[in-house]
Amino acid sequence: MSCSACAGRIERSLQSAHGVYDVAVNFGNSVAAVSFDPSKTDKCELIRIIEKAGYSTIEGDPETIARAEAEESRRMKRDLMVAVLFTVPLFLLAMADMFAGIPWLSDERPLLAMIELLICVPVIYAGRRFYIRGFPALFAGNPSMDSLVALGTSASFLYALWNTAMLLIGQPADGLTYESAAMIITLVSVGKYLEARSKIKTDSAVRALMKLQPDTATVIREGVEIEVPISEVVKGDRLSVKPGDRIPADGKIISGTSSVNESMLTGESMPSPKTEGDDVFAGTVNGTGGFLMEAFGTGSDTVLHQIISMIETAQGTKAPVARIADRVAGVFVPVVIITAVAACAVWILSGESLGFSLTVLISVLVISCPCALGLATPMAITVGTGMAADRGILFKNASALERAADIDTVVLDKTGTITMGSPEVTGAVSRKDRGRLIAMAASVESGSEHPIASAVVSYAGKEGITIPGHSGFSSVTGGGARGTVEGKEVVIGSPKLMAEIGCDISEYRDDAESFASRAMTFFYVSEDGAPLGIIAVSDPVRPESGFAVSRIKANGAEVIMVTGDNKATADAVAREVGIDRVVSDAAPGDKLEVVKELQTEGRYVAVAGDGINDAPALAQSDLGLAVRNGTDIAMDSADVVMMTDDIRSIPASMELGKATMKNVKQNLFLAFIYNLVAIPVAAGALFLFGIGEVSMMPMISAAAMSASSLLVVTNALRLRGYAPESLSPA
């Protein structure tokens, strides 16, 4: 595609197909995203429609597409070299009158004209794509940038050809304009080639991820290590991963320990320690230890492939702001053609020569740039989504990136989002024997799978306390647990349970109040009916939560915490991280109602969560954010997936959205202003005041048109240097 008019033509062609629901053709990365009913049409029919519209498609795996794009780039380079090789001498010949002492160049005009014609023909051939694509699009009623170049250069070449014929039969003729046609083709080709190279750079995130998948894997087959192509690895294979290797598949370590660099997934530079039972992911880099793993995800089932797919999907969609440029681009080329013809007619009627008037027509056709308008949004979106992916933030579509810039309210879940999501023992008090308190509690809790039970057992291990065996374990629904340890009946539970068994816990009343004031959950332990002590458990606040909340506020949004925890616990956590508004004791459906109520107030709401109970609120919100360790349903309901549980990614996503939309607006401004100024100048506005040389205008116009597209692409690439303040090192 040469400009957004091409994208519009393909969209209209596909939308007319039976069974097609939605089409988004992205000029920035040449991707067509089509939603269709497979019972009514299929991919082959869609490809046939695209080809009938005058375009070709590339299919296959990422490597096949990359090879095809590389070949296209080489072809463009070959044609450009031919154009430059012949345009330079043609331009020098056109300046023949400036070369004193070489009479035949100026005196033998018919010979000079024939030489220029012969030199110009290879340049026209090198620019054949403009005619092959431009004229069919024009005749089909969907003119594009190629149509403008084809019309402009054809007018220039045919006018020069007419004058050549006049000279050959001895008739007077105006100046030759072969060099104008050649210079236009060459300069536009230079711009398109540089534009194509720059567009590849904007998609560097996806290309870098594609290279992370290793070509081979070491598989254990019948007890022997065999190196096989990565395509032959299947689920259930046992793989040997050596130090320094890239991990070939998603899997679980079954023996060995190491540390793994997962920066490609999470954006975190510090290696993550891995041991038996831990998950590892394709494309990440093993550290100094070797290990054996069992694959549970290969090929398209790996997280790496899902990330690539998500980025490509996001880059293939359109942000709402792109509709402005699309509407303008839809009528841009026809309006330019009408303007060019009108300007030519006005100059002829005003008494100017045909040569002058045709030069104005050519200049208007060539200087107009629908490319800049078409590139303004998709280039920034492509860079923005790739830049976010580098930092472990995956936007599912371009619309989500735009919405992230406008969020004014952020609703946060407490457990697993603001807090670590796993309880820890934070206090243990005994008037008798603290060590025995922990040992007895851990012994009974070792028979339970409850998270709090696991926290108690883990705490005993950290304290170096030996856990005795137990018998007769039973859980008390909503109350606690009981069991027999060393012949003693040990009961663990709430004040209500202690009262039921007749255990007096009054001596621990002050401790209980102290734990409650610090947002801790506590329970009592009794031994043969006598109080042994009190243990407090809490879900620790993430160390980065306070900073993340402050950055959300700095980005102009209010933070609201909605949690199912009691008011005392919720308020204590809110005070610690700086949240002013809290909704506590919330049932799963309450969070959804909070979001709806905020939206009725005209708020633009983002919701961050990690659980199934968050899914309805995530779906209802204007922007749903799910953390990577959340459930699949939460991720399916979200617009943004954060590959880490670091909630600084929440304000970072807002900052990335703002930076990208700012870049989009800059690009649109540059594109609109360029065309607003350039077209009147090319139409002869300056000549009314005696400024400028008309003969040079077509060449200047071609250079300006190419420069405008490159300016937009370069501005988009500048976005790659942006670093969200929320993720800056502390």
pLDDT (tens digit per residue) in 522-568 = 899 999 999 999 999 988 888 899 999 999 999 999 999 988 777 87
Say whether pLDDT at 662 is over 70.
Answer: yes
pLDDT tens track for 571-585: 888 999 999 999 987
Helix (H) or strand (E) holding 75: helix 62-94
User: How far is Cα 185 from Cα 174, in angstroms, rounded to an integer?
Assistant: 22
Does residue 240 register a pLDDT over 90?
A: yes
Residue 556 Ramachandran class (φ > 0 left, ψ -120 to 50 alpha, else beta): left
Question: DSSP code of 469?
Answer: -
Q: Does residue 170 sit in helix, strand or coil?
A: coil
Q: Which domains does the chain have, with CATH numbers?
A: 214-301 (2.70.150.10), 394-419+543-648 (3.40.50.1000), 424-538 (3.40.1110.10)
Position 223 scores a pLDDT of 85
Asked which of 23-32, 56-65, 474-483 is least confident by mean pLDDT, the reply is 56-65
Do 245 and 214 form a contact (C-beta atoms < 8 A)? yes
Q: Are 479 and 524 in contact (CB under 8 A)?
A: no
Q: Would you say 393 and 676 are in contact if contact means Cβ atoms under 8 Å apart?
A: no
Instruction: Yes or no: say if 517 and 568 are a contact pair by the CB < 8 Å rule.
Output: yes
Q: What pTM was estimated for this model as a whole?
A: 0.72
Calculate what percentage of the chain has a pLDDT beyond 90.
32
User: What average pLDDT does the structure give for the chain?
Assistant: 84
The Cα–Cα gap between 386 and 114 comes to: 52
Beta strand spans in 505-589 (E): 521-527, 530-538, 558-562, 581-583
* Token digits of residue 35: 């939603």
DSSP 219: E
DSSP-assigned letter for residue 208: H
Residue 189 has pLDDT above 80, yes or no: yes
Q: Of 79, 237, 250, 413, which residue is the catalytic one?
A: 413
Q: Which of 72, 96, 104 is nearest to 2 (CA)?
A: 72
CA neighbor of 599 nearest in space, from 320, 418, 415, 403? 403
The pLDDT of residue 321 is: 73
Q: Is the pLDDT of residue 226 over 60?
A: yes
Sign of CA dihedral 389, 395, 396, 397: negative
Percentage, residues of the chain above pLDDT 70: 90
CA 73 vs CA 184, 489, 616: distances in Å: 20, 79, 47
DSSP 478: T
pLDDT tens-digit readout, 699-722: 787 788 778 878 888 888 888 888
More confident site: 416 or 81: 81
Question: How do strand 558-562 and strand 272-274 relate by DSSP bridges?
Answer: unpaired
Is 326 labeled as catalytic in the residue annotation? no
Mean pLDDT calculated for residue range 398-419: 88
Burial of 509 by CB count in 10 Å (0-12 exposed, 13-18 middle, 19+ buried)?
exposed
Q: Determine the pLDDT at residue 368.
A: 79
Tokens of 168: 């050959």
- Is the pLDDT confidence value at 86 over 60? yes
